[in-house]
Chains A and B, each alone.
Chain A
Amino acid sequence: MADAAKKLPRIEINEKFCKGCSICVDFCPTDVLEMKGPVVVVKDLDACTRCQLCDLRCPDFAIQVFD
């Protein structure tokens, strides 16, 4: 696959809503996210498969994946 042509998704994290429970980090199948202090941050956007499990399991309306 031509990496240059690959369109990356956009992961939006609302830091005001995130309570740092790390559910999204623990259940991400491709290890895209990590905890940085009290909130979650994107570590490896390339690996994101847009499965949206982080969005579905986030209890705090804090994370969304856009294409």
Chain B
Amino acid sequence: MTAEAAKKQKLSVPFDYSKYLRGGKLPHIWCPGCGHGIILKALLRAIDKIGLTNDEICMVSGIGCSSRTPGYVDFNTMHTLHGRALSYATGIKMANPDLNLIVTTGDGDALAIGGNHFIHTCRRNIDMTILVYSNSIYGMTGGQFSPTTPEGSKTSTSPYGAMEPNFDCCELAKASGATFVARATSYHVAELERTIKAAIEHKGTSVVEILDQCPIYFGRQNKYKSASHMMEMIEKDGTVSVKQVDKLPPEKLEGKLLRGILHQVEGEEYCDKYAKIIEKAQD
């Protein structure tokens, strides 16, 4: 039975990820319970819903656990320097504006080492989708605290609790000029898929902060029992959908992060502006 025929009969047909994956690369290197695999699957389903072919996408990443993502997908991919993924992506987009750029980056990669590149990419409003996998820790290098580690959390470099206040990635992106800012979690999988789809379809810089779990380094240090316990405590109970905000009393919103599309405006895109400059110069 074809997939379309099965859909008409409302039969459950699992999604075929193999057409987007590089053969022989799985199982991936991520730890048991790591949310990065959930995000990768949601991303592939979103790409399938939009109907993009493998050659129309270019995926760029820096260094870190999240930045291993391009290694598993069969798109045009590039694995670059720590924090500099956005600079490479800007170059690729300007050389070939027809490509759909997707940058997968971690919280440390995007906000600490690549913080400067992050704010300036948002400022330029160049058409690309930035997926920030925010697991509150530097997982690959042994669990050091990152700019998104909540104040007071224990990590291997803050055994008495992190003393620095943490970054709000979405507020930073919005203030820097990104025209699409959203937050999703790896617990709310259907919503995550919809948010990534909207982000890819948006013309301009789209930033999606995706809260996910690092059960091995962050979970163990902070007394979370398992990956699913982290997902329930941080992602399910720690967030509120923007659609529910008006209906809830203020005491229920205390200490919670908003998820959903937080900011979306139209703005002139960088490559379009650049094409106009070229035209002007040639006149």
Contact = CB atoms under 8 A, between A and B. Distances in A.
B143 interface: no
A9 B12 contact: yes
Report whether over half of chain B's contact residues are helix, strand or loop; otherwise say mixed. Answer: loop
Interface residues of B, number: 30
B39 to A, nearest CB: 9
B138 to A, nearest CB: 19
Report whether over half of chain A's contact residues are helix, strand or loop; otherwise say mixed. Answer: loop
A17 B30 CA distance: 11
Interface in B73-100: none
A11 to B, nearest CB: 10
A9 B31 CA distance: 29
A21 interface: yes
Interface in B207-251: 215, 226-228, 231
Given A19-B32, A57-B189, A26 B13 contact: no
B68 interface: no
Interface in A32-60: 50, 52-53, 55-60
B143 to A, nearest CB: 18
Interface string A8-25: 010000001101111100
B281 interface: no
Interface of B: 6, 11-15, 17, 26-28, 30-38, 41-42, 186-187, 189-190, 215, 226-228, 231
